[in-house]
Amino acid sequence: MGQVIEARAPDLKIRPEDCLGVKHSDPSTIVIVGATGDLTARKLVPALFNLYLNDGLPDPFRIVGCGRTKLSDQEFRNKMKEALLVNGAMDASKWPAFAAALNYRSVDYGDLTSFMSLAEFLRKLDQIHNTRGNRIFYLAIPPSLYKPLAQMLGQAGLGKERKNGNGWSRLVVEKPFGRDLKTAIDLNQGVQEYFREHQIFRIDHYLAKETVQNILMFRFANAIFEPIWNRRYIDYVNITASETLGVEHRAGYYEQAGVIRDMFQNHIMQLLALTAMEAPSQFETDRVRDEKVKVFHSLRPFPVEKLHKYIVLGQYGQGKIDDKPVPGYREEPGVSPDSLTPTFARMKVFIDNWRWQGVPFFLTSGKRLAKKLTEIEIQFKGIPHSMFRQTLGETIAANRLTLGIHPDEKITFTFQTKNPGARVCLRSVTMDFSYHQNYTGPILDAYEKVLIDCMLGDQMLFWKQDGVEQCWSFLTPILNECETCGNRAEMLHFYESGSWGPQMIDIS
């Protein structure tokens, strides 16, 4: 039962294509370190090619792939062409001009002279192509290499910036940013020996999702929600990111990480911050990021001795996804047969500040669950007094607002209304707004958005060092307790693949 809210075309002078933000940034070279890997083929080159097709790359631009494998420029171009064909992103008529801007350099990750010669090569490219010394170094490599490679780039002088606006240098890293507080601090310090905070772009691809960005617009561009967005009206908040996928071919990483490091330390924490933060005085990078950090600062530390009251951990066993049998986590290739790595977690967290005192936030994420679903549910409190009690003799469901991120990019509000008829009966109905309704312009994929922001030097959608460390200081004691306590095995509840996770444990 739903009623669709018509999204009217905005009465603004802005055309949809102007909202894309695909505008020319400074001429620059994008250096992908780890260019023969999976991320480059699956995400980065398709995103760059698509930006090229939409006139979204700098003019001029160069893309330099670097890796340990020895390849010629032509071999690298062929490899990237294959990747685009697999990806379905190929436009054969535009490929030759794009391919001409690709180069490849093999580098020895442990040898400074190799990086010095990369630096020399980049200088030459600048001279030939007038890319003005502006460079993005995208680290598409395993996290254990972030620090040594950032330092190598730095020692080769590639972290230095000129003062006249051009000649900038930016470093892009993907999560995980460390595996606990200590390693995150160590990584930050190591990278910051050569790159300053304004040069470091720590990616969280959830922040590049349109509907995640929309949370702030929804909250702060509408007057009616803020007055009720607090402990007086909100009973609890559910933040869910469930997946049907299993660990796939990533056991080597996942066995060491587990769901808390993989999903909570980054994506879930960002969703929490966007839901709970105060309004910044300006929609400006540091002010937005500072407000989020204040939320992380206000997280109430878990009483580790009573962890079972606040957290449920699970691991998937065999089951069915889309009616097909799937193996349990312990049977996945590369996973230890007695692994205690959690693939599911549900946490109850509290934010100790004036707005949220006493409101539980339930955070849930897991692999091999019944459905791929990402959403934020704001459950409002029930009415204080029911004048219908005599007539209806039933409880009246409280209002609920759902911010859908995946699969439905929508906002849904559930409320009570009268059923047509002579008797007084209530029914729950929903108002739905679908995010793409009445929008026909182009849509940017998350990696395209992230790359554009790096080229423009806009860090709004990237993690700042203090936020990373603050989240780790909240999660590290929990991880320590979960990973080292004697009853580690008892804390882990097995669930059937295709179910909603361990349901019998109640932390409400």
Interaction residues for ligand BG6, span 52-111 (CB under 6 A):
none
Distance from C-alpha of 276 to C-alpha of 352, rounded to nearest angstrom: 11
Distance from C-alpha of 405 to C-alpha of 239, rounded to nearest angstrom: 11
Amino acid at 30: I
> Taking CB under 6 A as the rule, does residue 375 contact ligand BG6?
no
Site string for ligand BG6, 376-415 (x = CB under 6 A): ----------------------------------------
The upper half-sphere exposure of residue 97, i.e. CA atoms within 13 Å in the direction of its Cβ, equals 10
Closest approach, Cβ 266 to ligand BG6, in A, equals: 7
Stretch that binds ligand BG6, among 96-104, 237-245, 322-330, 376-384 (CB under 6 A): 237-245
| Number of residues located near ligand BG6, criterion CB under 6 A | 5
Closest approach, Cβ 338 to ligand BG6, in A, equals: 22
> Taking CB under 6 A as the rule, does residue 243 contact ligand BG6?
yes
Distance from C-alpha of 246 to C-alpha of 498, rounded to nearest angstrom: 10
Closest approach, Cβ 407 to ligand BG6, in A, equals: 10
* Structural contact between residues 27 and 59, judged by C-beta atoms closer than 8 angstroms: yes
Residue number with CB closer to ligand BG6 (360 or 501)? 501
Closest approach, Cβ 223 to ligand BG6, in A, equals: 31
Residue number with CB closer to ligand BG6 (44 or 101)? 44
Catalytic residue among 205, 267, 308, 436: 267
Residue number with CB closer to ligand BG6 (250 or 297)? 250
Stretch that binds ligand BG6, among 33-41, 155-163, 240-248, 269-277 (CB under 6 A): 240-248
* Structural contact between residues 201 and 481, judged by C-beta atoms closer than 8 angstroms: no
No. of H helices and E strands in the chain? 15, 18
Tell me the Ramachandran region of residue 179: left when phi exceeds 0, alpha when psi lies from -120 to 50, beta otherwise: alpha
Residue number with CB closer to ligand BG6 (245 or 443)? 245
Residue number with CB closer to ligand BG6 (102 or 273)? 273
Closest approach, Cβ 441 to ligand BG6, in A, equals: 22
Integer-rounded Cα radius of gyration of the chain: 25
CB under 8 Å to 41, separation ≥6 — which residues? 79, 80, 82, 83, 86, 87
Q: What are phi and psi of 102, to 5 degrees?
A: -100, 135
> Taking CB under 6 A as the rule, does residue 262 contact ligand BG6?
yes
Paired tokens of 306:
């009573």
Paired tokens of 397:
């469901």
Paired tokens of 188:
């930050």
DSSP helix/strand/coil, 28: strand
* Structural contact between residues 439 and 10, judged by C-beta atoms closer than 8 angstroms: no
Strands in 142-275 per DSSP E: 169-174, 200-203, 234-242
CB under 8 Å to 318, separation ≥6 — which residues? 325, 326, 327, 328, 331, 496, 497
Residue number with CB closer to ligand BG6 (29 or 402)? 402
> Taking CB under 6 A as the rule, does residue 448 contact ligand BG6?
no
Residue nearest to ligand BG6 (CB): 262
Closest approach, Cβ 466 to ligand BG6, in A, equals: 21
Q: Considering only residues 25, 374, 414, 476, which one is a binding residue for ligand BG6 as defined by CB under 6 A?
A: 374
Distance from C-alpha of 26 to C-alpha of 410, rounded to nearest angstrom: 35
Cα 18 from chain centre: 24
Let me know if 267 is a catalytic residue.
yes
Stretch that binds ligand BG6, among 37-45, 241-249, 383-391, 488-496 (CB under 6 A): 241-249
Q: Which H or E element spans position 428?
A: strand 426-434
Angle made by CA atoms 458, 464, 468, in degrees to the nearest 5 = 150
Residue number with CB closer to ligand BG6 (32 or 241)? 241
Residue number with CB closer to ligand BG6 (7 or 245)? 245
DSSP helix/strand/coil, 375: strand
Stretch that binds ligand BG6, among 62-70, 129-137, 238-246, 473-481 (CB under 6 A): 238-246
Residue number with CB closer to ligand BG6 (115 or 206)? 206
Residue number with CB closer to ligand BG6 (295 or 446)? 446
> Taking CB under 6 A as the rule, does residue 332 contact ligand BG6?
no
Closest approach, Cβ 326 to ligand BG6, in A, equals: 15
Closest approach, Cβ 476 to ligand BG6, in A, equals: 19
Distance from C-alpha of 210 to C-alpha of 486, rounded to nearest angstrom: 43
Stretch that binds ligand BG6, among 213-221, 239-247, 331-339, 495-503 (CB under 6 A): 239-247
Closest approach, Cβ 329 to ligand BG6, in A, equals: 13
Q: Which H or E element spans position 96?
A: helix 95-99
Closest approach, Cβ 241 to ligand BG6, in A, equals: 6
The count of residues in the chain is 508
Catalytic residues: 267
Residues that bind ligand BG6 (CB under 6 A): 241, 243, 245, 262, 374
